[in-house]
Structure 1
Amino acid sequence: MVAAIATAAAIALAGCSSGGDFQDPGATNSSDDVVSQLASDLQPAYANLGQPVGATPYTGDWKPRGDAPWTIGYASPYDGNSWQAAAKARLFDDLLKTYQDAGLIKDVIITESGFDDSVQNQQIRQLVDQGADLIIACCSNTTSLNQSIEYAYKQGVPFVSYSGYVTSPYAINTSANYHQAGFASADAIFMKIGGEGTVLDVIGVAGAASSDSFDAGVAAAAANYPGIKLVGQVEGAWADTVTKTEVQKFLATNSEPIAGMIVQPGSATGALQALQESGRPIVPISIAGEAGALCYWIQNPDFVDVAFNVWPPGNEMQLGFEVAVRTLEGQGPKIQSIVREVSPITSEFALDKLGADCDVNSNAWIEPSVDDWFSTATLDKFFEDPSDPLAFKP
């Protein structure tokens, strides 16, 4: 049910550089050229992407400023929700141990900025000055970190944005196509309610790249349904507790019936709880990998017709981390944004993961396998000189 989406409008600078010897990326490849040079099976993910798709400066003779084992700086913008907990669990319980055993990663240093851009910029510079060989971050504004990303680049330190994107030509972005995710999620709900009715839009964090791109996809889908009215918008902060409170506030002050809700991943269970506690009828709500809402679907098969993998937390972290290690190893990422299409979640898959006796209030996540989300063979296609990152010999 993922709707077909028109060809992307490309944006970005392109070029190459070497180590800490700073050079502005040149215009050696246009954005369209870079996408067209990718394997044909990768190109559909770039439809309506709206984020940088030029060449990266981390190809050719580029080298990191230090040798393995490397230190990774994780400049996290926020903490305290189930998504971040799952992403950190994959990082510290799985990836870090695996790559330490291989002699490739020394440590991961994490900072938290509380969604304060000025603090996050300061923390990025501090991580670089403290010896981090690469910086990763997620979920940021498209431009707010660009000066710090350039600062890191001048020191030979790449920046990888996972589960979101930035517009700096010195960054590598890894994610699903969030515009497509918003379009597909909304389209599924609009079809479920027969193309008529009022729908509440629950965004993530206003100004964050992934949130804004998702919501642009929602608006694009709504344009195809003249009978749909987006009756309001609240900010759920990708957290069930915040979403529940904000939806309850909206319902308490707006008596108009709601036919459905479009929510960003991380908010479906909270939106469902808000409806249940308000006494309002339960209406279709878009679902990603939130276990509570998926459990409700298992127990109420007519709730929705399909859910979507948009930003599965562990897999998103693993993709960003592996792209980071491959970049440090000199594999040469071909394009600034490494993306994939969204994929559907069926009720059968949810049942297999959660079981029939699942908890409708769970804030856990279910995820596709790593191979189904972003296989090694697929990721290889985004690099000039791909190889198993764990096989690298310092």
Structure 2
Amino acid sequence: MKKRTNVGRPALIGTAVVTLAALGLAGCSAAAAPEADSVAQPAASAAAGQCGSVPDLGANDPDGLLKEFSPETAAAYNAYPLPVKKSAWADWKSEKDGGYTAAIVGMPPASAFVNVMLDTVRKELAAADVEIVADLAPDDPTNVPLQLQQFSQAVALKPDVIFFIPLAGEPSVDAVKAAGEAGIPVIAMQSVVDSEYAVSVAGNSVLQAMKAGASTLSAIGGAGNVLRVTGIPGISTELYAEDGFQNVLELCPDVSIAGEVTGFFEATTAQTATLQYLATNPAGVDAVLQSGTMGLGVLNAFEESGLEVPPLADLGATQGFASWAAQNADYPYVGSTTPTVRQSQVSVDIALRILKGEGPKINQFVNDPFIVDRSNLEELVDPAWKTTDSTDLVGDPQTFFPDEVLKEYFNNPSS
């Protein structure tokens, strides 16, 4: 098994603030859309270890806990950066049989993604007759101290469960432990926490970048110049994307990074930065690896510059880019989806299961990223969508922890 290249990343999470969003031929100097018969197939078609394949880096599973899971479920942990631990709630049940209460410690509602996630949690809790005793969020996505203070306020109210979107993972560990020692399970959504007292519910961002990146590099024949469009420097989402892209780039010695621009996970900012890059590099590049939610902005930059749109890893895909790709049948599209509503629904489901004593086996609930490419693009795109639409492409929501998979994570799953 290949040595893991990203195991050192978790130490960097302590200074990371989760994003609000929150995602040509060799030697050719000008990017060109491949002909129809050269449209890239899913990365899995490349032989293991070759450029365009997804490396098997294994799971960070020091205690072998994933052996209890099906191979398909365990595969989602390939290159996952945090260690899998036995959940502190594996043999626990609430003393109450109903009438539960919950606290929410979220993020500032400055993005559609966060708004939808939190609104869905509130609706799901109301439908389950769970009273929300606190609904808190800091004033700024960088104000980690205030969020931790609000988390302590929530613990003091003694809710039965806390729903948490941590701004920073490592600084939250002690706060989550305090909640656990008070008998309060924590459901960490989107941004993960390295604690046995929290159940983190998220996709594998490293594997997501590996899958989309491998297909993108395959589309250029494993050779050429690549532009990196990064998000917010230093935050966990960006670090995980960097790890994933680097893992697949290591298999592609004939691919070079031609340049890098920073888009801060905002499509308009990424568009401006890419335009500036192309103005001084008018020949373009052969492919683009972007860290998430900025694909539509990069697409617009190439079109505005009068250049062919190169293969682009559309992490955190939008309806607009997917619609454009559907209208350009020769384009080797690959992206990943963000099932925001389903993620929140699953988070509430997991919380209720824990309270009822179903016993989560582990602390990290990790879903295999859902990849969109030419094999399923047409069935996911609505012809009525506009190519300018920045709405998230949710794909098939049921691919995010379908019920039969979710049951694997519990010792005493309900029928």
Normalised-by-shorter TM-score class: 0.7 to 0.9
1:96 pairs with 2:125:
yes
2:141 is aligned, of 78, 94, 114, to 114
Moved more, 158-167 or 1-10: 1-10
Moved more, 42-51 or 368-377: 368-377
2:319 is aligned, of 291, 308, 311, to 291
For structure 1, list consecutive stretches of 5 or more residues without a partner in the other structure: 12-30, 389-394
Q: How does 1:144-293 map to 2 (within 5 A)?
A: 144-252=171-279, 257-287=284-314, 288-293=316-321
Letter in 2 for 1:109: D
In structure 2, what is the Cα distance between the partners aligned to 1:46 and 1:141? Answer: 21
Quick check: 2:106–2:136 contact (8 Å CA) kept in 1? yes
Q: How does 1:61-76 map to 2 (within 5 A)?
A: 61=92, 63=94, 68-76=98-106
SS of equivalent to 1:32: coil
Give the direction of change, closer, same or farther, for the CA distance of 1:78–1:356 in structure 2 (3 Å limit): same
Residue aligning to 1:373: 400
Cα deviation, 1:24-65, whole Å, max 9, x if unaligned, reads: xxxxxxx3321112234322112221212110111214537x
Residue aligning to 1:51: 82
In structure 1, what is the Cα distance between the partners aligned to 2:278 and 2:166? Answer: 28
Give the direction of change, closer, same or farther, for the CA distance of 1:206–1:369 in structure 2 (3 Å limit): same
In structure 2, what is the Cα distance between the partners aligned to 1:74 and 1:250? Answer: 42
Cα deviation for residue 275 of structure 1 reads 2.5
Moved more, 41-50 or 104-113: 104-113
Residue aligning to 1:17: none
Residue aligning to 1:26: none
Letter in 2 for 1:326: R
Moved more, 137-146 or 358-367: 137-146
In structure 1, what is the Cα distance between the partners aligned to 2:403 and 2:186? Answer: 21
Quick check: 1:139–1:209 contact (8 Å CA) kept in 2? no
In structure 1, what is the Cα distance between the partners aligned to 2:134 and 2:97? Answer: 15
SS of equivalent to 1:364: coil
Letter in 2 for 1:76: G
SS of equivalent to 1:160: strand
Moved more, 244-253 or 110-119: 244-253
SS of equivalent to 2:322: helix
Give the direction of change, closer, same or farther, for the CA distance of 1:357–1:369 in structure 2 (3 Å limit): closer
Quick check: 2:103–2:132 contact (8 Å CA) kept in 1? no
Quick check: 1:181–1:217 contact (8 Å CA) kept in 2? yes
Give the direction of change, closer, same or farther, for the CA distance of 1:140–1:219 in structure 2 (3 Å limit): farther
Cα deviation for residue 291 of structure 1 reads 0.6
Quick check: 2:358–2:410 contact (8 Å CA) kept in 1? yes
RMSD of equivalent CA atoms: 2.7
Give the direction of change, closer, same or farther, for the CA distance of 1:353–1:187 in structure 2 (3 Å limit): closer
SS of equivalent to 1:144: helix
Letter in 2 for 1:73: A
Cα deviation for residue 356 of structure 1 reads 2.5
Letter in 2 for 1:70: Y
Give the direction of change, closer, same or farther, for the CA distance of 1:289–1:303 in structure 2 (3 Å limit): same
Letter in 1 for 2:125: L
Letter in 1 for 2:94: K
Count of residues in Structure 1 that have an aligned counterpart in Structure 2? 363
Give the direction of change, closer, same or farther, for the CA distance of 1:104–1:77 in structure 2 (3 Å limit): closer
Quick check: 2:332–2:373 contact (8 Å CA) kept in 1? no
Quick check: 2:105–2:150 contact (8 Å CA) kept in 1? yes
Give the direction of change, closer, same or farther, for the CA distance of 1:208–1:76 in structure 2 (3 Å limit): farther
1:362 is aligned, of 385, 389, 403, to 389
Cα deviation, 1:194-251, whole Å, max 9, x if unaligned, reads: 2222222223333433432222010011111112122333443433233334434444
Cα deviation for residue 2 of structure 1 reads 4.6
Moved more, 199-208 or 146-155: 199-208
Cα deviation for residue 328 of structure 1 reads 2.3
In structure 1, what is the Cα distance between the partners aligned to 2:241 and 2:148? Answer: 25
Give the direction of change, closer, same or farther, for the CA distance of 1:86–1:253 in structure 2 (3 Å limit): farther
Residue aligning to 1:338: 365
Quick check: 2:100–2:160 contact (8 Å CA) kept in 1? yes
In structure 2, what is the Cα distance between the partners aligned to 1:53 and 1:143? Answer: 15
Quick check: 1:77–1:138 contact (8 Å CA) kept in 2? yes
Letter in 1 for 2:157: Q
TM-score normalised per structure 1 = 0.82
In structure 1, what is the Cα distance between the partners aligned to 2:269 and 2:102? Answer: 31
Quick check: 1:163–1:210 contact (8 Å CA) kept in 2? no
For structure 2, list consecutive stretches of 5 or more residues without a partner in the other structure: 1-41, 45-53
Structure showing greater relative contact order (alpha-carbon pairs closer than 8 Å, 6 or more residues apart)? 2
Give the direction of change, closer, same or farther, for the CA distance of 1:249–1:69 in structure 2 (3 Å limit): farther
SS of equivalent to 1:41: helix
